[in-house]
Every structure is written in C-alpha cells, then in structure tokens.
Amino acid sequence: ALLVFDEVMTGFRVAWDGAQGRYGVRPDLTALGKVVGGGLPVGAYGGPRALLERMAPAGDVYQAGTLSGNPLATAAGLATLRALRADEGAFDRLEALASRLEAGLRTAADQAGAPIAIGRVGSMLTVFFREDAPRDYAEAATSDTARFARFHRALLDRGVMLPPSQFEAWFVSLAHDEPLIDRTVEAVGEALEASAGGG
C-alpha cells in the first residue's frame, strides 16, 4: 500500500512543501496541479526515485496524460517555482495577508450580525453562512446557500469576484496586498448588510 497526497489545492499554497510540510507527514507519492505550471493547465506527481522508476516508459506501471510535458506549462511552472524559491518571505507574506483577511471578515460579520464560520489553512479560506465551522460535508450542506448567493452577487456589484459556491476555497496570492485585502473586507461588510434580507 502507498500513501498518496492530493496536493492539487494545497501544494505551494499552504507552505513551500505543501500540506505534507505543514503537518509533518511524508506521503509516498504527491499529486500537484496547475501551480506547477504557473497557473496553466498541467498536472504532476512526485515521489522517491524507486517508485518513479517504475513508471512508463522505462518501468512497468503505465501512465500517460494529455497535459504531459507541455513546454509552455513546464516553462511557466519552472519560472514560478524559481520565483517562489528565491523569495524567502513569500509564504510569511501569504500567511499575513490571509490572516488579515480572516480577521477582517470576522470583524465585518460581527458588525453586521451575520452568522459566518471561517475555515482557513495558509492562504486558502472558506466562508460558510452558519454558526459553527462545519466538520464534514453533511454539516457544510446545512449552510445558508441562499444567503451566500445574495452575498456573492453583492460582492460582484462591489468589484470583488469570489468562487460562486460557498463550498469552494478563496485563495490569497502574492498579487494581493494589504490595501486590496482592506478593500475586500470593506466590500464584504457592505455585502453582508445587503445580503441580510431574503430578496
């Protein structure tokens, strides 16, 4: 048996070495997504040499993919990873920005009297319209999705684009800065007020 981590969402987002580095668990294989392509469509996996040497074409384990070896995605990914590696403070800045956003969201919700729960790991967070953070999908499904839809539309009206479902993560990136986070929090406060009614 092998331990495989799907780090498509967490790889290079929650830490340089992903969730496995953050939590101190080393899997046998790791799957990564478009972060290794600089945002372009690509997938990758990695692990110890002994396992990877088993993969085709040299080994006996078949693998193939429509995105394998795309030169544009590979070049973009290499440039992105080099930039992240060279910027020693990148993940500290991401953590600080995401923490600022989370704190601002909590304050805005308190001021609006809005029942929200926030789950955050590193630069990823999710907002649920419910009193307590959900522990599983069944609990998440009891969130007020109608209010989230109104909240989402109100944020779009204020120039803030979020994923259209409260079951998707928000991502803070190095393209964000404190003034943009503060502008987002201000818009969230207004959108929470605007979404309070049922219309």
The share of the chain scoring above pLDDT 70, in percent, equals 99
pLDDT, residue 116, reads 95
Tell whether domain 90-194 is in CATH 3.90.1150.10. Answer: yes
d(CA 150, CA 48) in angstroms, rounded, equals 48
Q: Mean per-residue pLDDT for 145-164?
A: 96
Where do the structural domains in the chain lie, given as residue ranges? Answer: 4-86, 90-194
**Nearest-CA neighbor of 187 among 164, 149, 155?**
155
Which class for 29: exposed (0-12), middle (13-18), buried (19 or more C-beta within 10 A)?
middle
Question: Is pLDDT above 60 for 199?
Answer: no
The kind and range of the H/E element at 150 are helix 145-157
Each residue's pLDDT tens digit, 14-42: 888 999 999 999 999 999 988 888 889 88
Helix (H, G, I), strand (E, B) or coil at 151: helix
Q: Under a CB-based contact definition with an 8 Å cutoff, are residues 133 and 117 in contact?
A: yes
The share of the chain scoring above pLDDT 90, in percent, equals 80
pTM over 0.85: yes
Q: Mean per-residue pLDDT for 128-151?
A: 94
